[in-house]
Amino acid sequence: MFRTAISNVAVREFKSGIISDQELSLILEAARLTQSAKNIQPWYFIVVKDRKTLDSLAELMTGDIDEDLTKRSPMIVAVIGDPKSQFWLFDLGRVVQSMTLVAWEMGIGSCVISGPEPPDRENYRTKAGKILGVPENLRMQELIVFAYPRNKLPYRPRKIRKEMSDILFQEKFGNPADKSLLAPVRK
Ligand SMILES: Cc1cc2nc3c(=O)[nH]c(=O)nc-3n(C[C@H](O)[C@H](O)[C@H](O)COP(=O)(O)O)c2cc1C
């Protein structure tokens, strides 16, 4: 699991085929069983394979870099949130991470597609929700493409991350953390 988590990167170049339903069902089962605050499970998922629907979603992103990514996506899972839960965004983050890592472990790449930059994003989400028939009390939050990576994994180094010493502190914010925590050693 450590290896899966630390090697996972966004994949944007795919083979043309759709992942198998068996693989997809494992990804979705990982989502279904994810922890959530008060076990509210404030999420729904829509599997979108229909090319016309994918193209309609891409059209909502005209001019944005995600337009091309959506057009090239063989299949997308739309992640729908229920804002009545206080922790819905936190929980959606967890559920997407579950799906992404399970997919990665099976050699399947994924990328979150957030659509146009603010201030247009919320309007895009509303329109995307309408295309997907999402009830008005729920929110179409993210599209996730899952597909076989075009190149062998890991196909390139991950983007640079902040140093541990920049994000980890000891006892109080700003206090340097113990050196033993800065350079993890795997036994
Ligand atoms: C919440 C979230 C939203 C993201 N939205 C997009 C997006 O709209 N388009 C995109 O190409 N990548 C998107 N990504 C992928 C990130 O840009 C990418 O994971 C990050 O830059 C680190 O790069 P790496 O995965 O190659 O290491 C998103 C990732 C997350 C977690």
Domains and CATH numbers, the chain: 2-152 (3.40.109.10)
Is 106 touching ligand 1 by the criterion CB < 6 Å? no
Nearest residue to 49 via CA among 179, 125, 143, 136: 143
Distance of CA 180 from the midpoint of ligand 1 (Å): 30
Distance of CA 99 from the midpoint of ligand 1 (Å): 15
Question: Which backbone phi and psi does 78 adopt, to 5 degrees?
Answer: -85, 130
Distance of CA 11 from the midpoint of ligand 1 (Å): 9
Is 114 touching ligand 1 by the criterion CB < 6 Å? yes
Distance of CA 151 from the midpoint of ligand 1 (Å): 18
Q: How many other C-beta atoms lie within 10 A of the C-beta of residue 21?
A: 10
| Preceding peptide of 119 cis, ω within 30° | yes
Q: What is the pLDDT of residue 151?
A: 84
Q: What is the pLDDT of residue 3?
A: 86
Greatest extent of the chain over all pairs of C-alpha atoms, in Å: 54
Quote the CA–CA distance of 66 and 163 in Å, as a whole number. 29
Low-confidence ranges of the chain (pLDDT < 70): 153-157, 186-187
Question: Please, what is the average pLDDT of the chain?
Answer: 94
Is 13 touching ligand 1 by the criterion CB < 6 Å? no
Is 10 touching ligand 1 by the criterion CB < 6 Å? yes
User: The whole model's pTM is what?
Assistant: 0.94
pLDDT, tens digit (0-9, with 9 covering 90-100), for 162-181: 999 999 999 999 999 999 99
Beta bridge partners of 143: 78, 113
Q: In the numeric block, which tokens belong to residue 110?
A: 């994924």
Quote the CA–CA distance of 9 and 2 in Å, as a whole number. 14
Q: What is the pLDDT of residue 184?
A: 75
- The DSSP 8-state label assigned to residue 102 in this structure reads H
